[in-house]
């Protein structure tokens, strides 16, 4: 919460000296790289942010902030749980793994705003958060074992930086009547690098209680026996830790909502 407050205060401070105030929104496809690619699926995110473009000699420079919420897994599989009395039961387990990120960014246009297509470079720094929830269904036998933990059983975060480039396209380029537009198409590609982050292996989900992987650590959830009220643990997933490395492709729009010159 303190980190987000700092981002907001930074943008409010900058707005007093800026020429244009812009709203950005779009979709992001994040492709995991290296070790991360072995364990999770692509990250699909929706993003929104604010940008401020300076005036005068710095008019090609913009700064701002951005927030994004994404998902990289939503899957249900049957898991076999073994009990102390040598009996077992199969329960449905619903996995949901998501991301949140927040960043400050600086962007420099390589051409002036008079051009219909403007290439640019961009750099970012911020916080990336991976979190997972697991919902375990109840057994058909009312006297069987029930899970005590169901939500947000895995949560980790790391700082990251990102660099890349893109194109800002005036949509009137596709029409006969070309003119200035407050709405711009925005596409870019970025490489994301960060520290180590822990997450659930969702790329090759399998019957977790009956399998093990020396590269991962077991994620155990507490159960309670409805008949005896005894509490015990069962493994529901494998946890891995890897450096954050993602190749990001984005498409969206930029909307100029304020211009001091007009």
Count CB-CB contacts under 10 A for residue 39.
Answer: 21
pLDDT band (50, 70, 90) for residue 258? low
Q: Phi and psi of 208, rounded to 5°?
A: -60, -45
pLDDT band (50, 70, 90) for residue 211? low
Q: Which fold has domain 2-10+23-259?
A: Porin (2.40.160)
pLDDT band (50, 70, 90) for residue 239? confident
pLDDT band (50, 70, 90) for residue 143? low
Q: Tokens at residue 199, please?
A: 């997450």
pLDDT digits (tens, 9 = 90+) for 76-122: 877 777 666 666 677 778 888 999 999 999 999 999 888 999 999 99
CA dist 240 and 39 (Å) reads 8
Candidate from 4-18, 207-221, 242-256 with smallest mean pLDDT: 4-18
pLDDT digits (tens, 9 = 90+) for 35-72: 999 888 999 999 999 999 888 888 899 999 999 999 99
**CB within 8 Å of 262: residues ≥ 6 apart:** none
Q: Which spans in 45-159 are helix H?
A: none
pLDDT of residue 14: 47
Q: Count how many Cα atoms sit within 13 Å of the Cα of residue 72 in the half-sphere of its side chain.
A: 27
* Domain ranges within the chain, ordered by starting residue: 2-10+23-259
| pLDDT reading at 186 higher than 70 | yes
The better pLDDT of the pair 8, 179 is held by 179
The better pLDDT of the pair 52, 144 is held by 52
pLDDT band (50, 70, 90) for residue 200? confident
pLDDT band (50, 70, 90) for residue 20? confident
- DSSP-derived secondary structure letter, 146: E
Q: What are 188's strand-pairing partners? A: 166, 250
Q: Interior CA angle at 35 toward 31 and 40, to 5°?
A: 50
pLDDT of residue 223: 73
pLDDT band (50, 70, 90) for residue 207? low
pLDDT of residue 147: 67
């Amino acid at each position: 919460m303190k980190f987000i407050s700092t981002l907001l205060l930074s943008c409010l401070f900058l707005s007093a000296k800026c020429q244009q105030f812009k709203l950005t929104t779009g979709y992001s496809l994040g492709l995991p790289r290296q070790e991360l690619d072995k364990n999770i699926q692509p990250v699909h995110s929706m993003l929104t942010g604010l940008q401020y473009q300076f005036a005068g000699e710095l008019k090609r420079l913009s700064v701002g902030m951005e927030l994004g919420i994404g998902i990289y897994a939503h899957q249900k599989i049957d898991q076999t749980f073994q009990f102390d009395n040598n009996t077992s039961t199969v329960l449905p387990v619903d996995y949901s793994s998501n991301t949140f990120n927040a960043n400050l960014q600086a962007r420099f246009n390589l051409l002036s705003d008079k051009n219909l297509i403007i290439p640019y470079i961009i750099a970012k720094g911020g916080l990336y958060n991976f979190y997972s929830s697991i919902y375990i269904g109840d057994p058909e036998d009312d006297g069987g074992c029930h899970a005590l933990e169901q939500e947000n059983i895995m949560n980790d975060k790391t700082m990251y930086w990102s660099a890349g480039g893109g194109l800002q396209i005036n949509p009137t380029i596709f029409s006969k009547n070309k003119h200035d537009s407050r709405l711009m198409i925005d596409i870019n590609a970025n490489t994301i690098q960060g520290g180590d982050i822990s997450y659930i292996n969702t790329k090759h989900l399998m019957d977790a209680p009956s399998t093990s992987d020396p590269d991962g650590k077991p994620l155990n959830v507490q159960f309670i026996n409805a008949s005896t009220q005894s509490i015990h643990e069962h493994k529901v997933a494998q946890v891995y830790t890897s450096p954050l490395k993602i190749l990001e492709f984005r498409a969206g729009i930029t909307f100029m909502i304020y211009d001091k010159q007009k």
